[in-house]
Amino acid sequence: MPISGHATFEGTSRIRERNATFSQTYKTLGKTGLICSAVGSGSYRVDVRVAEHHAALSKAIRMGINVIDSSANYSDGYSEKLIGEVLESMITKEEITREEVILVSKGGYIQGENYKRISEQVALLRDEAPQSGTEFAEIVKYKNGLWHSIHPDFLHDQITRSLERLDVDTIDVYLLHNPEYFLQWAVKDNMPEDEARDMYDDRIRRAFAHLEKEVAKGRIKYYGISSNTFVKAEGSVDRTSLESVMKYAGPHFAVIQLPMNLFEQGGVNELNHEKASLSILDFAKKNTIGVLINRPLNAIHNQQLIRLANYPEREFLPEEDINVIVHDVNLQESEFKKEILAEAELNPQAKEAVTKLMMFGEWLDSYRWRDLAGYDEWRDLLFTVLKPRIQYVFDLLRPLAKEDKVIFRFLEEYAEAMDEVIEHITNFYTTKAAQTSNAIHNALDEVLPGEYHELSLSQKAVLALRSVEGVSSVLVGMRSEEYVDDVVFGLHAKTLDDAENFWKRLEINK
């Protein structure tokens, strides 16, 4: 049986009472009246198949974090499954009650399994045009592998699936997830702006009407919108205006979500409501709308991702020497393929796989390892592309190495050479990240009182956001217990006395 109940004022108040050391940081989530932790658990990259993510979320809840944000497309549904498993375990052990936790999820993206399922259904209709106004007729085919929809039938299906994955009978807050994809698609399709706006408004209106029905059924309690374009300038073609969408909102429209961080300051500094007199946060506060902040520690600046965290400075070889050891690995791969692989007792398919996938040095040599955007791109490349491919190669060759001393010796030397390359490139990008981090620290300390200077960069970044009046909760990805400790310890720092002045004086973008 799914977990029954939903977040309540009484339940969420108990969370605050149990965490007396930072009880003053809890806020009210807009007109929902629910008491929410100033920092919430963002679940963009968490996965039920990773034990560390279980431990981190459990610890976060035990330490007083009671806002858990997810979406149908996060880790292709495995994020919601993780949340469901953690809640079920903690409720069974009587560590928490369902009424104490605010569950937020979102729908709109058609990716992963959703994309496979729906694209197959659409393919069956290729010989007949979908009837206007139906679910399939209103799919935004943004690009291959990424479609979008907020049609009522799709939302009904997505809420059903989210409830099953979360293993609950009620979602506390359900958000339309970046509905502006329609506007962005319309611009690419050369649709007149007035026509696109009218269609967008109509889709929002019908989505809201459906979500009010979901409230009446008890499947959700409140709803709203998560939009990356809430913060854009008033005349932006793809901007979602809170002022506009509230015209179609029913009584249970209560929460919005938007990106904001030290670099992306539109939430406080872009006056884009009420004839350019109020920011999105001002307007939300005026209308008692709860505000969740996403991407607080992942800033996009000058088309690069900046991770707002501390990094250690490390020693690494000069760049020209790293070039040499990278090229040496490339030569090892080339010589192995030409001289050893040809004689190896592998079937043709396995030889072809080794030829295609043994490209660690070749890739770094050819695509210039120094030209990556930074530490995060290097880590993603290493762990999602390079290492998995090389691991597969080793799995194919290891049985032969037991009998063939030449292959055994090659694998040993190749692994050692790759480890050296990984160490020095990792240290190179870690040190670059540390230099950026230190510069940001210095810029912040110019406008922060001395009592905050010893905080970590992530703690300073979250502090600046949670100090803004109108921000209900800051969603931080806490995929390890170490991240949880950093976030919760940061809550012991009192909020800034004059946050408005801080944001005005901050010159981090320059």
Residues 40-68: pLDDT tens digits?
999 999 999 999 999 999 999 999 999 99
Q: What tokens appear for 481 in the block?
A: 């217990």
In whole angstroms, how far apart are CA 40 and each of 60, 70, 291? 9, 11, 12
pLDDT at 405 over 90: yes
In whole angstroms, how far apart are CA 227 and each of 1, 317, 406? 33, 43, 57
Q: What tokens appear for 246 in the block?
A: 């509230």
Q: What tokens appear for 176 in the block?
A: 């339309």
Q: What is the pLDDT of residue 132?
A: 64
Q: What tokens appear for 308 in the block?
A: 């707002």
Verdict on whether the full-model pTM lies above 0.75: yes
Q: What is the pLDDT of residue 367?
A: 81
pLDDT at 390 over 70: yes
Q: Read off the pLDDT of each residue in 441-454 and give the average, rounded to a whole number.
A: 95
Q: What tokens appear for 396 in the block?
A: 């194919």
pLDDT tier for residue 304 given thresholds of 50, 70 and 90: confident
The secondary structure of residue 263, as a DSSP letter, is: S
Give the torsion sign (CA, 369, 374, 378, 381): negative
| CA–CA gap between residue 203 and residue 207 (Å, rounded) | 6
Q: What is the pLDDT of residue 124?
A: 79
Q: What tokens appear for 122 in the block?
A: 């659409």
Q: In what order do the strands lie in the sheet with 140-143?
A: 109-110, 146-148, 140-143
Q: Read off the pLDDT of each residue in 358-380 and give the average, rounded to a whole number.
A: 91
Residues in the chain: 510
Average pLDDT of the residues of the chain: 95
Q: What is the pLDDT of residue 126?
A: 67
DSSP-H helix ranges across 26-126: 51-62, 78-92, 112-124
The mean-pLDDT minimum among 99-113, 151-165, 196-210, 369-383 falls in 369-383
pLDDT at 447 over 70: yes
| CA–CA gap between residue 497 and residue 507 (Å, rounded) | 19
Percent of the chain with pLDDT over 70: 98
At 19, give phi and psi (nearest 5°). -120, 65
Q: What is the pLDDT of residue 135?
A: 82
pLDDT tier for residue 234 given thresholds of 50, 70 and 90: very high
DSSP-H helix ranges across 5-50: 9-18
Nearest to 449 by CA among 439, 458, 460: 460
Q: What is the pLDDT of residue 122?
A: 86
| CA–CA gap between residue 325 and residue 194 (Å, rounded) | 58
Q: What is the pLDDT of residue 131?
A: 65
pLDDT in tens, 97-142: 999 999 999 999 999 999 999 999 888 776 666 666 678 889 999 9
Find where tokens 């501390």 sit.
Answer: 310
**For residues 366, 367, 369 and 373, what is the CA-based torsion angle, rounded to 10 degrees?**
180
pLDDT tier for residue 376 given thresholds of 50, 70 and 90: confident
Q: What is the pLDDT of residue 176?
A: 98
In whole angstroms, how far apart are CA 262 and each of 12, 335, 397, 458? 29, 49, 48, 10
Q: What is the pLDDT of residue 500?
A: 92
Q: Read off the pLDDT of each residue in 413-421 and give the average, rounded to a whole number.
A: 97
